[in-house]
Structure 1
Amino acid sequence: MAAAVRLLREQCLFTAEQLREVLGTCPAVLLEEPRRLHHHFQYAYFRMGVQQKEMVRARLFRTPFAELRNRHIFLERRGLYQTPHKGQTQSSNPKLRDILHLAEKDFLASLAHATPEEYEVFKKLLAREEEEEKEEEEDRDALYTEEDEDFENEGSKTAWE
């Protein structure tokens, strides 16, 4: 629990008041693995351009990361969400609390302007993309491991041999 609090305070830079609000409204963050909690924060901060104040207001940590990511990427790919450039705010983007807390049918109707079928297909395609990326990463890791083993075997000979 102390690790989660320290992470939110020191690495995510929530103020004491914001931290109190997060803990009061989303006490489950105390049980969250710090690495996952930090990833959740970083995604909202860097990828979506959302500041801590808005995260607290929207109760970011109540929404599972997968749902946040699905909805954000769906809006982004439909051209309805743009990541602000460093130092800029993007006022035309939907509010985080609307992205997170609208019921799925309302999210689709009012923000995404899409049908439930389109969103279901999107989620399946996104899951497939993630699986393919994971497989490619595993293949790359295996290739590097094989190359390391080959190098180590060749490297056992001295330069004079």
Structure 2
Amino acid sequence: MYPDLLQHRPSKLRDTLLQYKAITIGKENVLQLIQRYPVLYLVPPRKIKKRLALLNTIFAPAELRPLIRNNPNILCDDWQDVSDKMMYIHTEMGLEQPQISASQALQKSLMHIKTRHLFLSRAGLYVKPNLLRDKMSYRRNPSLSDITDTSNRFFANKVAKLSEEEYKVFSEMIREELDASQSDSDDSEDEEHHADV
């Protein structure tokens, strides 16, 4: 499934695997994770170390292991994309690290996360929790896993209690809405640039 792995010399492969074995996430080492997700082998060990150090500043050790097990892609995805998704979940959905690490949301696109959240929000089925006032307020909403990790049919019928067709129509509307707002912001940047010149 990963032909790029065949291009590495056996001696280089062995050295790299030993480096992975030395990198730990709690009691596990990265080598155990790579056995489940071989595509991570293509990420240099120093990059994984750097990314883990960065994630350690955001997530507690108890949250880091499930986060990486549920979202191994965060070790190799573009950091800006990962960061944008985490910020959206935190600032717009009002969720914290434990809820993020318990889901596979960071494997999804930002558009997927936004669309699911806005569908529930505009239907009156999601209210941003105030975790400073009430630590359990997030439980009044569907879990992040139910929102992001489910099929369109399950999400529409079981989570939102609406039809899959309604969700599909809403998805198209949101895509057009976000595209229009993106082109408006691009136009205003162009106008500012011309005004400066």
Give TM-score, length-normalised by structure 2: 0.68
Are residues 1:45 and 2:90 paired? Answer: yes
CA distance in 1, matches of 2:131, 2:185: 29
CA distance in 1, matches of 2:179, 2:111: 14
CA distance in 1, matches of 2:50, 2:118: 30
Q: 2:75 aligns with which of 18, 23, 30?
A: 30
Q: Kindly state the Cα deviation for residue 24 of structure 1 after the two structures are TM-superposed.
A: 2.9
Are residues 1:63 and 2:108 paired? Answer: yes
State the SS of the aligned residue for 1:58: coil
Contact 2:67 2:103 in 1 (8 A): no
CA offsets 1:100-126 (integer angstroms, 9 cap, x no match):
223221111112122122111111111
Q: Kindly state the Cα deviation for residue 15 of structure 1 after the two structures are TM-superposed.
A: 1.0
State the SS of the aligned residue for 1:28: helix
Code of the residue aligned with 1:35 in structure 2: it is Q
Q: Kindly state the Cα deviation for residue 79 of structure 1 after the two structures are TM-superposed.
A: 0.5
Contact 1:48 1:83 in 2 (8 A): yes
Q: Kindly state the Cα deviation for residue 64 of structure 1 after the two structures are TM-superposed.
A: 2.8
CA distance in 1, matches of 2:96, 2:161: 26
- Equivalent position of 2:189 in the other structure: 141
Number of matched residues? 147
State the SS of the aligned residue for 1:81: coil
Contact 2:95 2:138 in 1 (8 A): no
Q: 1:16 aligns with which of 61, 82, 86?
A: 61
CA distance in 2, matches of 1:43, 1:21: 20
Q: CA RMSD in A?
A: 1.8
Give TM-score, length-normalised by structure 1: 0.82
- Equivalent position of 1:6 in the other structure: 53
Q: Kindly state the Cα deviation for residue 3 of structure 1 after the two structures are TM-superposed.
A: 4.4
Q: 2:124 aligns with which of 63, 71, 79?
A: 79
Q: Kindly state the Cα deviation for residue 46 of structure 1 after the two structures are TM-superposed.
A: 1.5
